[in-house]
Structure 1
Amino acid sequence: MRLTRPFRAAASALSMFLALPACAKTPAAQQANAATDADPALWVVRDKDTTIYLFGTIHVLKPGLSWFDEAVKAAFDRSGELVLETVLPDPAAMAGLVRAAGTAKPGTPPLTERIPADKRAAFTAAVTAAGLPGNAFDGFQPWLAATQLSIGPVSKQGYETDNAPESVLTQAAKAAGKPVRGLETPEQQLGYFSSLSDQAQLEMLTSSLDELPKVDTTIGKMVDDWAHGRPDALAAEMNDSLKDSPEVARVLLVDRNKRWAQWIGQRMQQPGTIFIAVGSGHLAGPDSVQAQLARQGIKAKRVKY
């Protein structure tokens, strides 16, 4: 079965830590002067001595959205610690981790020979359009090729990780002397993708090829839903598509949400206030972090602002 939709959810998760050139840039401290107001969704979990904010991010943004204000900024200011999906190492170290996780095993046929025959021309065209030789990705695992082909068009449209909440929040936390930690290590995140079956990875790659012509429209809608605080619409765009690929849904979404909810449940046993920022797709839908918390008897409340 040809999959055309899992790319939408996977690309959001991948782009944060694989847009390596963007990782080398200095995060933007401020948005453009003529900023457009954005009010992304925010939740809170609390008991008598612990408060945990859950903020849904989008991993790449254009400049010009004013989101780090109002309730989001107030929640961040009240928090003593920032928790992200992962904390990135320096770009050189990250590049090494990506190469280690994304290189095909010795003896694996070239990627151009493994792609379905009806997709090979589109694949070669996409690689050469990126300014690379047609065989540049032959030694890659399919998931890494899918990521690299997807990041280029997104970046050309002006979306960058240095405009995204993770970068802005990290800079703000460092300026305020707040510790920053990750729910996962970069090695773990990369491992989730490299552990996918060959079939699932090839489906992700062919899906990416199908989506490339409309990537600007796709991510534009995702950003609009995020900026207007429509997590359910964003989940429908990102996560519902994963129903076509149960393996990808389990590895990239459901299992991670369960682990994060367990971490939050354990953290609730300690006093204090923390600010957790993870991809918005994890905070909506029937398998969301909030749904997993509810199964522990922990209620997350949407912050109205």
Structure 2
Amino acid sequence: MNHTMLRRGKSAALSVLACVLVAPTVYAWTPPAAAPISSPTKTAPKPLLWKVSDSDNSIYLLGSFHLLKADDYPLSTDVDKAFADAEKVVFEVPPAELGDPSLGQKMQQMAGFSDGRSLSKVLPADVRAKMEQAIGAERLAQLDAIEPWYINLGLLIGVSQQMGFQADQGVDMHLARRAVAANKPVSGLETASQQLQVLDASPMEEQIAGLRDFFDNPAEVPKLLADTHEAWRDGDVDRLNALVIDEVRKETPVTYRIINVERNDAWVPQLRQMLDGPSKDDTLVVVGAMHLLGKDGVVEKLRAKGYRVERICSACDK
């Protein structure tokens, strides 16, 4: 696998493991059909689930994959038990905001250039030529007012849908529905507007790199998404670190810092308040899996603060 393919795969994996707003993206372009990736009859995914405790209560941290398939369910009984034990459920963004009909319009507004530039002005000639060949000059012209980060998300949605992934099957959406049915309070660690600002803050050169990588060889993207999905289903922390975090941190360091590190740092005080505050309720926290992994993840950040941390994965010992 060459260097370019690695970065392209990491860009896609970063989205499905880091930002829940990948789900409502409106624009989607589907590349030429790739051979379907078959899978055997599936068992429940091995969860990326940790229990963090102090003297009087606990929070469960569950790593989500934001786009999944119907046959990724049911989830592990470990997740069911954590859900049953929790008095409330917290997501990246409050579920009600994800269901806001105006969210797609807000995303499109945020995706527009605010400094007088346009896609045709910022794209290098080679990227523009490859995009025109793939989607046509007319469609490319229609995208001229849209920043590359939003197009990258749309491309990811197009590929994912072709592979059978759906936003309404993501772990976040699934557990939000269950929480409402069980009358459990739900909330978010940040607002949809804050997450939009994060997506929009990626440096232009790193946004363009994502488009270049995609159009260099779009047929490779389904395989790389499938690898990430498989690693998530296997609960394979080491493989996910290698597939996503290590390369993204090295090749698009500013985007990695903005999307992962800075948000984790903003969430840790909120998570600590759930443990240290007066409430003795237990809480299930569901965020993109990337936010839990590695030295920058909230799991290690909370461990460093002295809390008891244990991974919960009964199938991992089998």
Identify the TM-score tier after normalising by the shorter chain: 0.7 to 0.9
Distance 1:18 1:225, change over 3 A: closer
Q: Match for residue 63 of structure 1?
A: 70
Secondary structure of 1:172's counterpart equals helix
State which of 2, 7, 16 in structure 2 corresponds to 1:4.
7
Counterparts of 1:86-235 in structure 2, within 5 Å, are 86-87=93-94, 88-105=97-114, 107-108=116-117, 110-128=118-136, 133-210=139-216, 212-235=218-241
1:228 & 1:303 partners in 2: Cα distance?
14
Aligned-residue CA RMSD in angstroms? 2.4
Is residue 275 of structure 2 the alignment partner of residue 280 of structure 1?
A: no
- Relative to the length of structure 2, the TM-score reads 0.84
Kindly provide the amino acid, as one letter, of the partner of residue 173 in structure 1: A
TM-score of the superposed pair, with normalisation by structure 1: 0.87
The CA distance in 1 between the partners of 2:184 and 2:232, in whole Å, is 26
CA distances 1:182-230 after superposition (whole Å, capped 9, x unpaired)? 1111111110121222222222332333463222111111111111111
Pick closer, same or farther for the CA change 1:165–1:197 going to 2, 3 Å. Answer: same
What residue is the counterpart of 1:28 in the other structure?
none
Shift of the alpha carbon at 1:241? 1.5
Question: Where do 5+ consecutive residues of structure 1 fail to align?
Answer: 23-33
Deviation at 1:100, TM superposition (A): 2.1
What CA deviation, in whole Å up to 9, does each residue of 1:160-198 have, x standing for no partner? Answer: 111111111001000000111111111111101212222
CA–CA distance in structure 2, aligned partners of residues 260 and 89 of structure 1:
19
Q: Is there any run of 5+ residues in structure 2 with no aligned partner, and where?
A: 27-40
Report the Cα distance in structure 2 between the residues aligned to 1:151 and 1:246, rounded to whole angstroms: 23
Per-residue CA deviation, residues 245-266 of structure 1 (Å, 9 max, x unaligned), is 2111110111111222222112
Deviation at 1:269, TM superposition (A): 1.2
Give 1:48's aligned residue. Answer: 55
- Hey, what's the Cα distance between the residues in 1 that align with 2:119 and 2:14? 20
- Cα deviation, residue 231, structure 1: 1.9
For the Cα contact (< 8 Å) 2:47–2:76, is it kept in 1?
A: no
Identity of aligned residues (%): 28
Find the aligned partners of 2:132 and 2:288 in 1 and give their Cα distance. Answer: 31
Is 1:291 aligned to 2:266, yes or no? no
